[in-house]
């Protein structure tokens, strides 16, 4: 059998189309959102960032509390167990999105998630350096606060790249301050906080643009704030699928097509 253009097209069609889905399509050069009004959308994002900042403020005392109460450090296995438990909770809550959308379940979900995070970061403070964990949370609060202030500047577009530039500026200033106070000590904490803040910005954009299919309304900021953490397993899977699974699948189909092709 000859390999015609038709057969070649059939082989190419079997290879998965690899692309990045960013939610709603771009119409007339503008990204479409679940909340059409930009001023309402900016206020909605500020509420999300404020709730996350308040959540980190609540977590700060647990760092010192765990360090004082538990004199003997936890094992790394305990930390991994809590991490797996949080991961499973996030997956379950991601699937039960409709159940936790409205009060009181949205508040209950956020409260339970905060308790899990308090346990996780508290144990982190016991396993590792408590100052490192404390600075990570503090740097996250500062970066989210700067993003809230930036969202008030309507002359600038609140795009992903602009928000990331704000985070990078705060990161550089934080490193300079740390170098002046304690050289070469806690830079990794502010780096980790910057990575987390970038994730918060990107996931917020994906939520508002319909990537997760939440169909958000302007009054659902508590639901959206909890989603920032709950979306983590799915976003992890999407990154893993795009960079690992899809290339392997494409390589498999390419190899299969190459092996089945006739030499003459």
- Rounded mean pLDDT of 224-253? 93
- Rounded mean pLDDT of 114-124? 93
More confident residue, 195 or 13: 195
Q: How far apart are CA 113 and CA 122, in angstroms?
A: 14
Instruction: List alpha helices for the chain, DSSP H.
Output: 5-14, 38-69, 76-95, 105-127, 130-151, 160-181, 187-208, 221-230, 232-240, 246-260
Backbone angles phi, psi at 31, to 5 degrees: -70, 135
Q: Is 29 left (phi over 0), alpha (psi -120 to 50) or beta?
A: left
Residues 6+ apart with CB under 8 A from 97: 214, 227
User: What pLDDT does residue 23 have?
Assistant: 56
Among 126, 41, 117, 33, which residue's Cα sits nearest to residue 77? Answer: 126
Backbone angles phi, psi at 30, to 5 degrees: -120, 135
More confident residue, 14 or 239: 239
* Mean pLDDT score across all residues of the chain: 86
More confident residue, 238 or 10: 238
- Rounded mean pLDDT of 34-40? 90
- Rounded mean pLDDT of 80-100? 93
- The answer to whether the beta carbons of residues 241 and 20 sit under 8 Å apart is no
Q: What percent of the chain has pLDDT over 90?
A: 64
Q: How far apart are CA 79 and CA 243, in angstroms?
A: 28
User: What pLDDT does residue 18 have?
Assistant: 42
């Amino acid at each position: 059998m000859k390999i015609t253009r038709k057969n070649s097209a059939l082989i190419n069609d079997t290879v998965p189309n690899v692309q990045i889905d960013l939610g709603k399509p771009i119409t007339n050069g503008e990204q479409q959102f679940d909340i059409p009004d930009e001023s309402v959308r900016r206020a909605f994002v500020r509420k999300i960032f404020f709730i996350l900042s308040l959540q980190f403020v609540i977590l700060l005392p647990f760092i010192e509390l765990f360090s004082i109460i538990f004199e003997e450090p936890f094992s790394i296995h305990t930390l991994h167990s809590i991490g797996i438990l949080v991961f499973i909770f996030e997956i379950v809550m991601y699937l039960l999105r409709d159940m936790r959308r409205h009060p009181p379940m949205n508040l209950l979900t956020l409260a339970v998630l905060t308790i899990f995070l308090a346990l996780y970061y508290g144990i982190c403070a016991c396993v590792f350096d408590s100052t490192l964990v404390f600075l990570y949370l503090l740097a996250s609060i500062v970066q989210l606060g700067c993003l809230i202030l930036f969202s008030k500047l309507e002359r600038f577009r609140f795009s992903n790249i602009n928000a990331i530039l704000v985070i990078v500026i705060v990161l550089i200033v934080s490193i300079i301050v740390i170098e002046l106070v304690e050289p070469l000590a806690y830079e990794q904490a502010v780096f980790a906080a910057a990575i987390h803040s970038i994730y918060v910005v990107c996931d917020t954009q994906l939520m508002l643009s319909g990537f997760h299919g939440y169909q958000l309304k302007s009054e659902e900021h508590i639901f959206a704030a909890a989603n920032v953490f709950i979306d983590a397993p799915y976003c992890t899977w999407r990154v893993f699928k795009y960079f690992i699974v899809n290339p392997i699948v494409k390589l498999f189909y390419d190899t299969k097509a190459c092996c089945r092709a006739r030499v003459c």
